[in-house]
Amino acid sequence: MPFPLIIGGFAHFLFQAVAQTSTKRAGWLAVAIFGTLFMCLPFRWTISPSNWATLGFPDLKVGAGYAVAEAVNEVTPPGGMVLAPTGVAIWLATQPKHPAIVGFRYRHWSPIYAVYGAGEVQQRRAMLEMISGLRGAEQHFDLTVDELERRKIAVVVVPHQLPWRDRMEKALRERGYQLVRDVDTGVDQTYRPGVPLIKFDWAASPAAGIPPGYSVVRLGYSIWSRPDSSPTR
């Protein structure tokens, strides 16, 4: 049960108890009850701002990549294919009429395997790992760049924290891609190099501290598009 409802229900019974007593006793009883209740509240209570919580209508339970996915869906031409890191691709797949995606979850390769075979799965997985910044995935850089050309990929999403971001964006410019949007999610998150930034990573909470091997980064993404791209698998 939500915390405000618990407090409201408890207060209802207190007012009933006060109403059933005499006026003089009711005043002292109310002071005693509410004073005791205030003293028993924990220091970091549920709706305290210091607990990163506010009272209001709930937002969508989505990760920082959701807003980026919406932007990608807006700029991708009909029939275009998108190469995006895991943290964006998983939300792009939830968009209505979303474009074709190189890959988004590592356990969802079965349909591609069934139609195109193991070689196609290996190529797509290598591209997804490279753009997601997995440790050691820079070895797939040349393969990914070649596949951008062969597949005529329309949109590429580059994370700002990608270890080889400069190299990737240079390759995109050389192949006719243009920066169409730069998205700052406004979210600070702890990050360990080599691990994709997805919804379930550690939140950058000062109270929780930073786990060993992690650093705090501002999640941001650059969206690159090539207007002359035509649909392909």
User: CA 222, 224, 112, 91 torsion: positive or negative?
Assistant: positive
Nearest Cα to Cα of residue 181 among 64, 63, 67, 61: 67
Is the model's pLDDT at 173 over the cut of 60?
Answer: yes
- pTM of the shown model: 0.66
pLDDT band at residue 197 under the 50/70/90 scheme: very low
Is the model's pLDDT at 155 over the cut of 50?
Answer: yes
Residue bearing tokens 């349909």:
111
Q: What is residue 134's predicted lDDT score, i.e. its pLDDT?
A: 87
Higher per-residue pLDDT: 149 or 37: 149
How much is the mean pLDDT over the chain? 76
Is the model's pLDDT at 206 over the cut of 60?
Answer: no
User: What mean pLDDT comes out for the span 49-57?
Assistant: 57
What digits encode the pLDDT tens for the residues 16-52? Answer: 665 665 555 666 666 666 666 665 555 555 555 555 5
If 0-12 CB within 10 Å is exposed, 13-18 middle and 19+ buried, where does residue 172 land? buried
Q: What is residue 76's predicted lDDT score, i.e. its pLDDT?
A: 93
79 dihedral zone (left: phi>0; alpha: psi -120 to 50; beta)? left
Q: What is residue 140's predicted lDDT score, i.e. its pLDDT?
A: 95
Contacts of 34 (CB under 8 A, 6+ apart): 14
Is the model's pLDDT at 202 over the cut of 50?
Answer: no
Contact 76, 101 (CB under 8 A): no
